[in-house]
Amino acid sequence: MGRVRYGLWWLDQATVGVRNRARAVTGGTAAVGRELRWAAELSARSTLAGVDHVRPEPWSDRGLLWLFGGISIAAVAVAVLLGFGMAHWAMTSSGATLFAAAGAVAVGAVLLPLAYLVFASKRRGRR
């Protein structure tokens, strides 16, 4: 046996334990990954099935008044926040971008209940 072959054999024998542990770790990691993917897929399917069966009930006039009152107060707060943020941004203040970004997120959060009210009342297809 030559020196090169002996060196390769010795390296193979020296790294057997490390290779076995690496195989065990990657096998375990792959099994955990498959389980997580399966759980995520089941969660997504059950969520979609549950969303498909949601039937919102009509609200009373008092409930709608409180909802739109809250939305209008939130809209005024968002307008004030955006006004201050845009004023600072126009003055090229260093920290003003945070105000503008927070205002954009707040506008999206205010529009979500309105979008729900619009699309929740759509008519269902034939059954």
Q: Report domain extents, the chain.
A: 3-51, 59-120
Residues 124, 51: Cα–Cα separation, whole Å: 13
pTM (two decimals): 0.35
Instruction: Kindly write down the DSSP assignment for every residue of 19-86, as one continuous string.
Output: HHHHHHHHHHHHHHHHHHHHHHHHHHHHHHHHHHT--PPPPPHHHHHHHHHHHHHHHHHHHHHHHHHH
Q: Going residue by residue through the chain (127 aa), what tens digit of pLDDT does each one get?
A: 688 888 888 888 888 888 888 888 888 888 888 898 999 999 888 888 877 777 777 888 888 889 888 988 988 887 787 777 777 666 765 665 676 677 777 777 878 877 777 777 655 555 4
**pLDDT number for residue 41:** 92
**pLDDT number for residue 93:** 58
